[in-house]
Amino acid sequence: MAASKKKPSPRSKSSRIVLLVATRKGAWLMHGDSARKNWRVEGPHFLGHVVSHLVLDPRDGRTLLAATKTGHLGPTVMRSTDRGRTWKEAAKPPAFAKAPEGEKGRSVDHTFWLTPGPRNEPNVWYAGTSPQGLFRSNDGGVTWQPFSPINDDLQYRKWMGTVQDGTPDGPKLHSIIVDPRDARHMIFGMSGGGVHESTDSGRTWKAILDGMETVAGFDRNEPTFHDPHCIRICPTNPDRLYQQNHCGIYRRDGRSAWVRIGRSMPKKVGDIGFPLVVHPRDDDTVWVFPMDGTTVWPRTSPDGKPGVYTTRNAGKTWQRLDAGLPKSQAWWTVKRQSMTGDAQDPVGLYFGTTSGELWMSRDEGRRWSCIAQHLPEIYAVEAAELY
Amino acid sequence: MKVLIPGALRSYTERSEVEVSGATLAAVLAELDRRYSGIRFRIIDEQDRIRPHIRLFVNGDQVRDLAQPLAATDELVIVQALSGG
């Protein structure tokens, strides 16, 4: 039997989990007790605002960034340095460069994805936008600048397509990953545009599509036709990536091709979905939340029976985890940023539905319970540890 | 000139009405942004286009051109679409 690649959990100080819940109508913080059994709700913050992503800076444990807009007003980023007690708007939110005279430039509709930079760059943040754009802040989110040439590069603009080519609520740049070993190594995905990798701090990028499939009839060599939904890096093995794509679940090791590990999912369920969560210490374990991708693509739980699926062997086999979840007539959608895990042992898992329910498991998915209802449409859930 | 501020933007001005000077609509918006940092980007995008669900009215007439000349006695109303959801 091969030795387990699961790393032991570190000796943990006393800590508790806070869930950062971004919704169509505001943001909420859910504070857990040390056993993750009781949850206190804090909010709403920004009631009525569309909050796409709410992230706590793990480097200082107190700075929060929220990507917000309203239905009518332009986008911005809100910043708190006291865990949400007070907020201040970014002085210069992400915005594309002004187009030369006579040309039609793009405008950011909303910031979609926030990623804090590496530990040794404490004030660096990255943002992905809709339409697709990549931005960086060097001052903790106060001001933002276009990052790398891709926002205006002719080839990338062609691959990105137009808003007509994207999702109904706009094409997105997401899953911004900074390699924890080397900040020069970065990855991002585009819904319509594929997966891209840089090894020189974003100066140049390369599409990494080998092994990925597209919808039948589309050219697999063309980045435009690839639709990655969510890409994650394994914290304990950063050479390994997992990806939930419009066309299946994939794993990539090193610089090899993507392998469609979702082929071993049950045929009746399929391997289409939005979110994907990786185990913090075991690079063979991930969790996904399948959705119905048949006919008109309902994007709801297959057959109205929600279930989380996990693999403990890097995708060779999958197991269904649905104890505590509704057994029928539960037509849930869980968006790509709405499922997450904490780093405790056993791992706590959390997901939020577009019907406003927040569910969790304290035992890596063996049993689920609902910890919040009646929230607006949930767009993102992040779990942060407070000491 | 008088500028009427919609409810959604009053977190910037703390008032429903402000007095701002400027020879053109663009100049008035620039002055608004100088005094209430960030307000302009919520209604005008980075390509200097009026955002889709925002309308600007000068003396009751809708204006689409930021180069529109303005007089000190004019009244600018910033309106966001009534629909939402």
Contact B46 A95 (CB under 8 A): yes
pLDDT at A163: 67
pLDDT of residue A239: 98
CA nearest neighbour of A233 among A278, A192, A199: A278
Q: Is A71 within 8 Å of B38 when comparing Cβ atoms? A: no
Q: Output A1 or A16, whichever has higher pLDDT.
A: A16
Instruction: Count the neighbouring beta carbons within 10 Å of the beta carbon of residue A59.
Output: 17
What's the whole-model pTM score?
0.95
Are the Cβ atoms of A76 and B42 closer than 8 angstroms? yes
Chain-chain contact of A91 with B37 (C-beta, under 8 angstroms): yes
Residue A141: pLDDT band by 50, 70, 90 thresholds? very high
Name the band, by pLDDT with cuts 50, 70 and 90, for residue A335.
very high
pLDDT of residue A5: 54
Given pLDDT bands bounded at 50, 70 and 90, which one contains residue A11? very low
pLDDT at A8: 61
Identify the helix (H) or strand (E) that includes residue B35.
Answer: helix B25-35
Question: Mean of the pLDDT values across residues B37-53?
Answer: 96
* Residue A106 contacts B where some CB pair is shorter than 8 Å: yes
Q: What pLDDT is stored for residue A13 in this prediction? A: 54
As a whole number, mean pLDDT of residues A237-243 equals: 98
A301 CA: distance to closest CA in chain B (Å)? 25
Are A55 and A27 spatial neighbours (Cβ–Cβ below 8 Å)?
A: no
Give residue A37's region: left, alpha or beta (phi > 0; psi -120 to 50).
alpha
Answer yes or no: do B38 and A89 touch at CB < 8 A.
yes
Q: What share of chain A is helix, strand, coil (3-state, %, to 5)?
A: 5, 40, 55
Assess B42–A contact: CB distance below 8 Å, yes or no. yes
Nearest C-alpha of chain B: how many angstroms from A129?
14
pLDDT band at B72 (very low <50, low <70, confident <90, very high): very high
Residue A3 pLDDT grade (very low, low, confident, very high; cuts 50, 70, 90): very low
Instruction: Report phi then psi at A26, rounded to 5.
Output: 140, -175
Residues A386, A63: Cα–Cα separation, whole Å: 12
Q: Do residues A76 and A66 lie in contact, with contact meaning Cβ atoms separated by under 8 Å?
A: no
Which among B9, B43, B47 has the least Cβ separation from residue A105?
B47
The shortest C-alpha distance from B70 to chain A (Å) reads 24
Give the pLDDT score at A1: 33
pLDDT band at A14 (very low <50, low <70, confident <90, very high): confident
Q: Answer whether B46 sits within 8 Å of A72, measured CB to CB.
A: no
ipTM of the modeled complex: 0.90
pLDDT at A4 over 80: no
- Rounded alpha-carbon distances, angstroms, from residue A332 to A29, A69, A267, A268, A299: 22, 25, 19, 17, 8
Instruction: Report angle CA B62, B65, B71 to the nearest 5 degrees.
Output: 75
Band of the pLDDT at A323, cuts 50, 70, 90?
very high
Which tens digit of pLDDT belongs to each residue from A184-221?
999 999 998 999 999 999 999 999 999 999 998 899 99
Report residue B65's pLDDT band, with 50, 70 and 90 as the boundaries: very high
Which residues in chain A touch residue B46, judged by CB atoms under 8 angstroms apart? 95-98, 105, 107-108
Query: Which residue is listed with tokens 């000068």?
Result: B58
Q: Is A326 exposed, middle or buried (0-12, 13-18, 19+ CB in 10 A)?
A: middle
Residue of B46, B53, B66 for testing the chain A interface, max A β-carbons within 10 Å: B46
On whether any CB of chain A is under 8 Å from the CB of B17, the answer is no
| A49, closest residue in chain B (CA to CA) | B8
CA dist., res. B72 & res. B58, Å (int): 12
Q: Which residues contact A60 (CB under 8 A, 6 or more apart)?
A: A122
Output the pLDDT for position A109.
95
Question: Is any Cβ of chain A less than 8 angstroms from the Cβ of B49?
Answer: yes
Q: How many CB pairs under 8 A join A and B?
A: 53
Q: Do A105 and B42 touch (CB under 8 A)?
A: no
Residue with tokens 């790398």: A148
Give, as one character, the DSSP assignment of residue A173.
E
* A87 lies within 8 A of chain B by CB: no
